Structure 1
């Protein structure tokens, strides 16, 4: 898949220039300097960066490698940066080697024409970009400060973290987030969210099917701000993002007929595991099933019964892959379209429906749902609204606005916006969330519709991306 050159940096051109000049690449757009770290929690006077040095892998070990015997989830151990959401996403990404290869270019190495330059492919607001980084990494006392691999000579994961920090402005901007954001930036996919206290009865089957299709799953336990990363009595960490690596049914010895539904989770710390049921009940499982489940201990991964999972965890996010994802059929049966737009103060930032005097000034986008997918004269549609740029500007105090959208049946002439009188009763609407993206699924009667994206309050300025997937 083609990708545009991020900041107009061409990897091959830059590498050739370095090789010709006999020097290693130093990235002028993301230098080994304080501004690439941050200005507050990772600012020059912060304790976390005391004694920090930028070093290349060759200065940290004798024979550095980009990948050692394949990229796996154990290559992703979180460092001293609060980006567990990103680590959980990278770990889940290793489950599909085709998708991973599109992101990390596994043929890169430290031998053939090495010039201190690496590149990665990321999805950014509707387009794929090729992101170049140099291999100078933050270290203290000769060890990587942020993400690292269990194999100390392997460096694909810290270099990928650096590329992600670059497109988001600095390392500090990666502190705090939800895994679905990174999942989308690695796949271009669409993320759906489930509140586990309201889980549908078939959620385990949904998880099982999603994993079989290559979807990326992440989960977390909600808690108040003063209890962040607090451990429960059974060794689960609150507000901490875990990867969901598998969902599988297993036959236990004490029952001839009953299958137990299990989920496998991974803590991106590479340690601290659930100590409840199924942390110590593996004697009930046959050696054959145990081998099939790839069970091992004390590596940050653990199995737990699905019934325990939905009782203890709060949220589940499933990133559905898009039609152009390799080895994936999850959304090949969907039509898709996307629109870009802006909310401008005084002209197109009308706020939500609670502000009727200005609401109709919001941008409007027409879509036609005309394929009856289930024989009930309805179409299943997935709508996602994403605001741009808030993470990149975190150090400037910019935060995500609360955003949402409304869907109306179209009643006017082609390309004529709906007026205030047409906007009283929407056919459907999303909830409003102060996150990068809000995404919801609807079953709507076949018709032509207008989608109106909005910030909750008027006169809030931002650019946005609206994506619509309708079932064929």
Structure 2
């Protein structure tokens, strides 16, 4: 019987949840703080872990397979979610057996977890919630947006996001699972919270020790207005662990917290005069019928006139409210019918909630954040309080130096190497009066600030409209001769989001960093009303014919110093009259008699390793030597490859930029997909100078030719997949 070991342990260095799993039969070491969960049985026994399970109409794991996941990736994702529950259950059983309360080793009750906070004059103790209040509960009469009070930590942005999801129990209990009552007999001091973290829901465990002022039971950070209620304080602690420390929550951004708590895509709408949308009212009205988390917009009848109001809430709830028209107790409310007041749940309490007319709202605020909720966020029935769930597509990619990190459109030479994704919009939105498609595009880069303590690089994207369904990447000529329909702003923040109102059609999205060769991983999310199937545009790996310009250039150069008879005489003189073939060292000598080194500064002759590879590439009968007919074929090919190299050389013909390597290979007859090109680039592009020298270029093509020829020579199955044995490998 085979076994599998899966390790789940929070990452003590960054505070994020670290997850790793191994295949059946492998072993893994948990390390400090790691917990090993063992399963025994055949692979089919794990299928039960992958079956969707529901709890109060809420699926623990959505059964819709994201378009960015392979079936294997989907299985891993669902198994991880099941493992969170298994890990928690096992940890709780161990603690119950030992009759202990849990102390989190990776987020200790010490200064380490506080981080680099400004000094607090009072001394701090960490005590458990039942020591603070023996009748402690997670929830007292449920959770509302009025429960939360900010402490001494500068994280009002997090408070505002938590207050927003309190309006929707399905969102809140995705983040804070039910059944965590500290008054039960099996309570062991563990609090569970779930956050959406770079494309995945992860579970964070913390113990229930909270910082208080020494000698008191007064909490220092976030707390509840309800005595004995601790869910908000513990949620803040779990989020601090995810981000590395409490200090890392100071001065954050509301969009980041909204996304981490919902899995949605946040669109920031600029309300300043020169930038606010001309159709802002129509956009707000459209969003009220969709699952969009924002200030609630409503029309009110005021003396037979329709007034557009926005309901807002101050996260401090300490009397800082709007005092102008339509504020609490304002005379305008006297002309609104009692029924409409009841429908609005109107009250004039000093709770931080207030109403504003739309024009005053736009004049007062500079930005409005709208969080679009897709399948990552909501129930399987497709609605939230009667609102429609939006469709979400998620794609993962990366920018790699000299490979796919081309920088923004200002970098004309390198921009085309950036990843390209296509979406096809088949029909307009049914609820759009202009018969357009409303598309939200969010580009997120993986968190680095807590890991490296440095700023994000600036990122953004452009969108092109194309005439038909795109099968391969847009080439340099198209990108430089066509104007994008959208250029996003470039910002050094975690995510850049833009909304588009565009007609049905075919579009290509190109995400990039602002400067070329900035490396990083990214997540591209596309929110639409109707389903879309975005795909990465890629080339197919295959040999191709040389372009006409290369063939014409070859005709202008007499590569052989003498005529064919004289070259044959040189060949015979080196190999001898009996063998009629040359080995690698003899090939190196005869190549010195050609003009291959001409116009290549610093290059004299090919290395012996390159000559060995040349013989292997042309050695059809596996003799280990090269006959004259094979030699002349090699020279013709090298002549063509040299002209391709010179076409892309920008610096005295000595080398080509690494960013042009893939395009140069294609001109030389080797079309490579992203997957095929990556190992070639890592091998032949100089790691520091970012260039490819002439011999490395020739050697890369020689080895690619060997791979292509080997593939073509193998028998194929019905799907045209080559059938290999170990004896078929050529190196």
C-alpha distance in 2 between matches for 1:201 and 1:265: 22
In the alignment, structure 2 segments of 5+ residues that lack a partner are 1-59, 62-77, 531-731
**1:24-48 superposed Cα distances (whole Å, 9 cap, x missing partner):** 1112222222222212xx1xxx323
3-state SS in 1 of match to 2:241? helix
Q: Against the structure 1 CA distance between its residues 371 and 49, is the aligned structure 2 distance closer, same or farther, given a 3 Å change threshold?
A: farther
C-alpha distance in 2 between matches for 1:127 and 1:65: 29
C-alpha distance in 1 between matches for 2:351 and 2:293: 20
Match of 1:11 among 77, 88, 100: 88
**1:134-181 superposed Cα distances (whole Å, 9 cap, x missing partner):** 111122242111111111310111111112112112111111233222
Shift of 1:22: 0.7
Aligned residue pairs, count: 434
Alpha carbons 1:371, 1:471 under 8 Å: kept:
no
Match of 1:21 among 75, 94, 98: 98
Greater RCO, CA 8 A, separation 6+: 1
Alpha carbons 1:215, 1:320 under 8 Å: kept:
yes
* 1:384 is the counterpart of 2:432: no
Q: Against the structure 1 CA distance between its residues 368 and 249, is the aligned structure 2 distance closer, same or farther, given a 3 Å change threshold?
A: closer
Alpha carbons 2:264, 2:373 under 8 Å: kept:
yes
Shift of 1:100: 1.4
Instruction: Name 1:431's counterpart in structure 2.
Output: 489
Shift of 1:250: 3.5
* 1:311 is the counterpart of 2:386: no
Instruction: Name 1:260's counterpart in structure 2.
Output: 307
Alpha carbons 1:320, 1:330 under 8 Å: kept:
no
Alpha carbons 1:187, 1:322 under 8 Å: kept:
no
Report matched runs for 1:45-444 at 5 Å. 46-48=118-120, 50-112=122-184, 113-140=186-213, 141-197=216-272, 198-200=275-277, 203-204=280-281, 206-207=283-284, 210-211=287-288, 213-217=290-294, 244=295, 246-252=296-302, 255=303, 257-271=304-318, 272-277=320-325, 278-281=327-330, 284=334, 285=336, 288-292=339-343, 293-323=345-375, 325-326=378-379, 327-328=383-384, 332=389, 334=391, 336-373=392-429, 379-393=437-451, 396-409=452-465, 416-424=472-480, 425=482, 426-444=484-502
Shift of 1:130: 2.0
3-state SS in 1 of match to 2:93? helix
* Structure with higher helix content: 2
Instruction: Name 1:222's counterpart in structure 2.
Output: none
C-alpha distance in 2 between matches for 1:460 and 1:26: 40
C-alpha distance in 1 between matches for 2:119 and 2:338: 48
Q: Against the structure 1 CA distance between its residues 6 and 316, is the aligned structure 2 distance closer, same or farther, given a 3 Å change threshold?
A: farther
C-alpha distance in 2 between matches for 1:124 and 1:311: 34
C-alpha distance in 2 between matches for 1:7 and 1:400: 32
3-state SS in 2 of match to 1:176? coil
3-state SS in 2 of match to 1:55? strand
Q: What is the CA RMSD across the aligned residues, in angstroms?
A: 2.9
